């Protein structure tokens, strides 16, 4: 007897998708293992806990596999497991080596077995940091907000009254005491031993971060820290140059964008929620100016890596963005 394994994923939890995915998976297992119906003893199916709308065993019967014993069960909800996934084990007569079948990206993104990085680059307000945070949570890996690091450098310069000139920034760089610490799963940015995670979100720090991030001495220091963090664990990183400079070999790369008006509205909403006064027109101008700074600087400008998937989020909800990225990752694994 042999045990043949297989798995597939669906896009939506609905009967139609489950029927199609199960028929495709069992069909492929049967074909690739040259199984005649009388060879199959039983088919055991399981599904992740986010599939509730249809029994995979029923879908198997409807696909014509009613000549053998069928069984399906739900798996426990485990953080970080692949979502919307159906797994199968087919027990069959014969002693030929089994050909296991994994379709639609249903291989495991197991961070314990395999270290990976997801690079999300794009301009500010594109939704990349919200998407990155949610994605990292789903994949149960670390989220590194690299913008926060440049913001902390900018805060240091503002606090010390350092002008943004080559000599002054070069003299300042070695004294920047920056630490990224994770508390209850959330990133905290410490500058000179003080948690500045809130302070670096101030609007004046945004513009200063865009300016200071153009200096190569600052970039070298930050990129070095980012690479060290990414070398130690699987993570999702967001920034401007992750896919092009920091981790050019990242397994998954995305370039997240949206039109300037949409981005200004999003940033405005965020700032208003934090109690800052918001002038949308001014905000859009500032965003456009930061875009210009970030994409025209000679040092690691904001640009899409050739192998990055472009995601225009102008007309997408955050859930749609995350599920699109997840789908692209699943297609590739």
Instruction: List interacting residues with ligand DC (CB under 6 A).
Output: 124, 146-147, 150-151, 206, 209-210, 213, 239-241, 290, 294
Is 53 or 295 the residue whose CB approaches ligand DC more closely? Answer: 295
For the chain, how big is the Rg over CA atoms in Å? 24
CB atoms within 10 A of CB 236: 30
DSSP, res 308: P
Query: What's the closest the beta carbon of residue 157 comes to ligand DC, in angstroms?
Result: 13
Query: What's the closest the beta carbon of residue 133 comes to ligand DC, in angstroms?
Result: 12
Query: What's the closest the beta carbon of residue 242 comes to ligand DC, in angstroms?
Result: 6
Q: Is 116 helix (H, G, I), strand (E, B) or coil?
A: coil
CA dist., res. 202 & res. 270, Å (int): 11
CA count, 13 A, side-chain hemisphere, 160: 18
CA dist., res. 180 & res. 188, Å (int): 6
Is 19 or 297 the residue whose CB approaches ligand DC more closely? Answer: 297
Query: What's the closest the beta carbon of residue 249 comes to ligand DC, in angstroms?
Result: 16
Query: What's the closest the beta carbon of residue 174 comes to ligand DC, in angstroms?
Result: 20
The residues with which 90 forms a beta bridge, in sequence order, are: 4, 43
Is 48 or 197 the residue whose CB approaches ligand DC more closely? Answer: 197
Is 92 or 155 the residue whose CB approaches ligand DC more closely? Answer: 155
DSSP annotation string for 48-98: -TT--SS-HHHHHHHTT-TTSEEEEEEPP--TTSPSSEEEEEEEESS-SPP
Instruction: Give phi and psi for 92, each to the nearest 5.
Output: -135, 155
Is 124 or 323 the residue whose CB approaches ligand DC more closely? Answer: 124
Is 33 or 124 the residue whose CB approaches ligand DC more closely? Answer: 124
CA dist., res. 68 & res. 332, Å (int): 33
Query: What's the closest the beta carbon of residue 306 comes to ligand DC, in angstroms?
Result: 18
Is 104 or 151 the residue whose CB approaches ligand DC more closely? Answer: 151
CA dist., res. 122 & res. 255, Å (int): 5
Query: What's the closest the beta carbon of residue 314 comes to ligand DC, in angstroms?
Result: 18
């Amino acid at each position: 007897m042999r045990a043949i394994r297989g798995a597939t994923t669906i896009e939506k939890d609905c009967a139609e998708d489950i029927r199609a995915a199960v028929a495709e998976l069992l069909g492929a297992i049967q074909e690739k293992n040259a199984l005649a119906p009388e060879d199959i003893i039983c088919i055991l199916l399981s599904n992740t806990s986010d599939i509730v709308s249809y029994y995979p065993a029923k879908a198997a019967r409807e696909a014509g596999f009613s000549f053998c014993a069928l069984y399906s069960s739900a798996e426990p909800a485990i953080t970080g497991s692949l979502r919307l996934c159906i797994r199968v084990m087919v027990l069959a007569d014969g002693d030929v080596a089994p050909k296991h079948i994994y379709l639609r990206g249903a291989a495991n993104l197991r961070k314990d077995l395999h270290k990976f990085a997801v690079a999300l680059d794009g301009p500010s307000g594109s939704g990349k940091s919200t998407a990155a945070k949610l994605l990292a949570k789903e994949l149960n890996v670390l989220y590194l907000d690299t913008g926060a690091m440049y913001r902390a450098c900018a805060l240091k310069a503002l606090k010390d009254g350092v002008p943004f000139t080559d000599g002054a920034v070069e003299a300042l760089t070695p004294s920047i005491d920056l630490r990224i610490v994770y508390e209850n799963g959330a990133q905290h940015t410490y500058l000179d031993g003080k948690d500045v995670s809130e302070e670096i979100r101030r609007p004046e720090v945004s513009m200063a971060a865009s300016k200071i991030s153009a200096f190569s001495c600052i970039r070298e220091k930050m990129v070095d820290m980012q690479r060290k963090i990414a070398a130690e664990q699987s993570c999702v990183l967001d920034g401007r140059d992750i896919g092009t400079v920091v981790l050019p070999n990242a397994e998954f790369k995305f370039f997240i964008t949206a039109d300037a008006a949409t981005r200004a509205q999003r940033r405005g909403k965020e700032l208003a929620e934090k109690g800052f006064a918001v002038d949308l027109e001014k905000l859009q101008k500032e965003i456009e100016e930061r875009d210009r700074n970030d994409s025209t600087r000679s040092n690691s400008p904001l640009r899409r890596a050739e192998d990055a998937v472009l995601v225009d989020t102008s007309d997408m909800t955050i859930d749609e963005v995350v599920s699109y990225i997840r789908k692209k990752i699943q297609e590739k694994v």
